[in-house]
Amino acid sequence: MKFFRRKAEPDVKLEESLEKTRRGVFSEISRLFDRATIDDDLYEELEMLLIQADVGWDVSQRLVEELRQRVERDRIADPAAAREIVREEMIQLLEGASRNRTVKILQRGVPFVIMVVGVNGVGKTTSIAKLAAYHQRFGRSVMLAAGDTFRAAAIDQLQLWGERVGVPVIAHAQGADPGAVVFDAMQAAHARGVDVLIVDTAGRLHTKHNLMAELSKLRKIMQKQVDAAPQETILVIDATTGQNGLVQAKEFSNAVAITDIMIAKLDGTAKGGIAFAVAKELGTPISYVGTGEKATDLAEFRPETYVDSLFFGSEEGF
Ligand SMILES: Nc1nc2c(ncn2[C@@H]2O[C@H](COP(=O)(O)OP(=O)(O)OP(=O)(O)O)[C@@H](O)[C@H]2O)c(=O)[nH]1
Ligand SMILES: [Mg+2]
């Protein structure tokens, strides 16, 4: 069976979650082009707004520079056409990162293992519940592993989510060896013929060498049972932490082989440009976005839909 990404939620959901973002800096960006002519002020204001929107300094400069070049080259005078160019450039930038996406195959009888990593409090555990619900919608059986044994509350939280979405959770006591939890979960997943096993991990600071060592140990334990595991390693990034979160994510991705990115809490930011900075800086495909606190609040990430939601929202349709 092919493991491909299908639209799980109507776009309306992503659009609604981006309401705050759209009312924020992006509406200002869009309005910038409601002027009569393209002048230097436009470029300057655009760059400033992009930086404010968390797009990041490098990416903002690049977008503005490309706009300037195309306007000159194609002798564009209409600001609305310039806005269309910015839209295109943004989509292209996001699609550049998506090109690194690998096709994933779900094999019968072999658990598809997803390891979820990220800094403290970014939304890992909640995202796991969302991913469980997401895979269930494709008719896949799901199991969770409480690999964050650092805090008792973390185990309880995962168990609660397991009950809510109706999937079994393999957990040991607080302070137990996460490696033992993962070992048991791999065995249980095999024994019960589970399709997708999602492993929660501790979010203690990325700077801690021991966390990285722990994550690589978990990988080895998984690989003893399934060669290709973890078939997906998702780095969760908190959209509300802006450039700061990006720095942490970068350090994380230097230490662990990340296959996919999930941007959580996208509903909680008036900026939203973080996706562009992430795509450019990490070069890892953004696969999912978190759009709220419920298990159903997940959307697949699609560059064009994302950019259009930022700029236009529902009145323009999709
Ligand atoms: N609004 C909103 N809140 C979210 C989203 N994802 C997670 N949260 C909230 O963010 C907070 C932290 O989420 P957790 O899932 O516990 O984060 P974590 O990374 O597992 O945290 P640690 O285990 O402490 O490292 C919780 O209050 C969640 O409800 C989202 O997409 N939108
Ligand atoms: Mg957690």
8 A C-beta contact, residue 114 and residue 186? no
Structure tokens at 29: 């960006």
Task: Reply yes or no on whether the pLDDT at 275 is more than 70.
Answer: yes
Q: Which tens digit of pLDDT belongs to each residue from 99-118? A: 777 778 788 889 999 999 99
Cis peptide before 111 (omega within 30 of 0): no
Neighbours of 191 (CB within 10 A): 8
Ligand located closest to 127 CA: 1
Whole-number pLDDT of residue 38:
94
Atom of ligand 1 nearest to the CA of 292: 32
Beta bridge partners of 264: 238
Distance CA 37, CA 111 (A): 58
Separation of CA 191 and ligand 1 centre (Å) = 31
Residue type, 122: V
CATH class of 104-258: alpha beta
Strand partners, 3: 104
How far is residue 33 CA from its own chain's centroid?
Answer: 30
What integer pLDDT is reported at residue 101 of this predicted model?
76
Give tens-digit pLDDT for 135-154: 999 999 999 999 999 888 99
For β-strands 104-105 and 2-3, DSSP reports them as: antiparallel
Any residues with CB less than 8 A from the CB of 11 and at least 6 apart, and which? 299, 305, 309, 318
Rounded CA-CA distance 158/131 in Å is 13
pLDDT band at 246 (very low <50, low <70, confident <90, very high): confident
Segment 43-60, tens digit of pLDDT: 999 999 999 888 989 999
Stretch 245-260: mean pLDDT, rounded?
86
In degrees and rounded to multiples of 5, residue 105 shows phi and psi of -110, 130
Tell me which of 9, 122, 124, 126 to substitute to probe ligand 1's pocket, judged by most ligand atoms within 8 Å of the beta carbon.
126
Instruction: Report, as an integer, the average pLDDT of 21-32.
Output: 78
Domain spans of the chain? Answer: 23-98, 104-258
Identical fold between 23-98 and 104-258:
no
Question: What one-character-per-residue DSSP string does 125-138 give?
Answer: HHHHHHHHHHHHTT
Q: Indicate the pLDDT class of residue 207, thresholds 50, 70 and 90.
A: low
114 contacts: CB under 8 Å, gap ≥ 6 = 131, 196, 197, 198, 199, 230, 231, 232, 233, 234
For residue 120, which atom of ligand 1 is closest to its CA? 25
Please identify which residue in the block is written with the tokens 């932490």: 241
Choose which CATH entry (1.20.120.140, 3.40.190.10, 1.10.3720.10, 2.30.30.30) describes domain 23-98. 1.20.120.140
| Cα 86 from Cα 76, distance rounded (Å) | 13
pLDDT band at 311 (very low <50, low <70, confident <90, very high): confident
- Rounded CA separation 165/140 (Å): 13
Mean pLDDT, rounded, for 60-73:
96
| Residue in this structure with the two tokens 């619900």, named with its chain if needed | 133
C-alpha radius of gyration, the chain, whole number: 21
Which stretch, 9-18, 97-106, 203-212, 219-228, has highest mean pLDDT? 219-228
Task: Quote the pTM value.
Answer: 0.89
Q: What does the pLDDT read at residue 25?
A: 78
Contact call for residues 25 and 52 (beta carbons, < 8 A) = yes
Position 313 confidence tier, pLDDT thresholds 50, 70, 90: low
Residue 65, number of CB atoms within 10 A of its CB: 13
Q: Which residues pair with 114 in a beta bridge?
A: 198, 232
Q: How far is the CA of 172 from the centre of ligand 2 (A)?
A: 15
Residues with CB under 5 A from ligand 2 (ion): 124-125, 154
Average pLDDT, the chain: 87
Taking only the tens place, the pLDDT of each residue in 164-173 is 999 999 999 9
Share of the chain above pLDDT 90, in %: 57
| pLDDT at 273 > cutoff 50 | yes
DSSP 315: G
pLDDT band, very low/low/confident/very high, at 270 (cuts 50, 70, 90): confident
pLDDT tens profile 276-301: 999 888 889 999 999 999 999 999 99
State the pLDDT at residue 42: 94
Read off the amino acid at residue 166. Answer: G
